[in-house]
Structure 1
Amino acid sequence: METRPMRADARRNYERLVTTARTAFTEHGTGASLDEIARRAGVGSGTLYRHFPTRDALLHAVLRERIDGLLGHADALLAEPDAEAALARWLRTYLAGASTPRGTCTVIIEAMGTEWAGTGLGAAAGAIRTALGRLLDRAQRAGAVRAEVDPGDLLRLANAIGVASERTPDPGACTDRMLTLLFGGLRAG
């Protein structure tokens, strides 16, 4: 089915909703009121739901650029000579980005479930898992990470670190401590 380009006013409403949602999600977490987002964007709730039938569709639109950057970063890190360091750098970058808006790690964990297949967030979680899997596989082949570690499990662990860290006074320091512990358990040998 061919999709028609958006009218100029519809495009402006779409962009205003994404910008406003980005701010609201940053201020109030991923559970921010959709009606309030529509109000702050200067549109009715019907306009919001025409563009974004679910909260997850709006959240995916807000996170899309960041996810694309994260996937590109994973590709670039595949050229790093130290496979374990590349994996660790990517996980740090992932968690730094996933800390805002608050609740993003929980959303990604949920989006990894089969009931999310066919959704934007489900596809994003799958792409993130695949990118992490390539970095993990490389670290495993280099003998730096235990062979039995699964990329889905590692992504769940990383998101659990993100959820725990966002509830501390210094999320960055907590993330670093937890990743150090995680890598202590991942190392082969």
Structure 2
Amino acid sequence: MGEHYFAPRPDLPGRPRTVDLVLPDLHLRLETDRGMFSPERIDPGTRILLETVPAPPPAGHLLDLGCGYGPIALTMAARSPQASVLGVDVNERALERARVNAITAGLDNVKFSLPGEVDPGLRYAAIWSNPPIRIGKAPLHELLRTWLARLSPGGTAHLVVQRNLGSDSLQRWLIGQGWPTERVASRSAYRVLAVTARPEESDSA
């Protein structure tokens, strides 16, 4: 069932498998399991995000919000080896797989944590996310309000969202909340939104 991927401890019995993330600059074999997001293949939205976003900042703190078993965070870590990458998720089974995948990939500049374990004072030069749209509009908005407020001055978040799951309305909501937001890519019914730090947050930092 789809709701299991945002459960802290999915009650589905495990069924480990591997998937391949193949990008022009990277090939990762990732361990997955039941009860997490897109365990049988790299989600098309994730692939589109990774194929269209500009290179992440070379240093500083970078965030994958809703990391699952780690394809986005691990790509950030591989592309910016001097940066400190954090993947956060509520799904403990997915976090366990993500940690294994980081070790297998030889990436020691990435960590995976539950949201409550993260220092709220950290600021992020970039956030990449395939956000959990299916948790519902109110929880999603609260999630984005919490983490987008942690962008560094001048930082940018890239979010990939299906058009039929509300990418356009989400863009309008983000703009209404004060985050400058533009669509920077569109492919196969997915939209990639670039969200920059609120001007007042940049001015006060």
Name the TM-score, length of structure 2 as normaliser.
0.27
Q: Larger % of helix: which?
A: 1
Structure scoring higher RCO (CA < 8 A, sep ≥ 6) equals: 1
Q: Larger % of strand: which?
A: 2
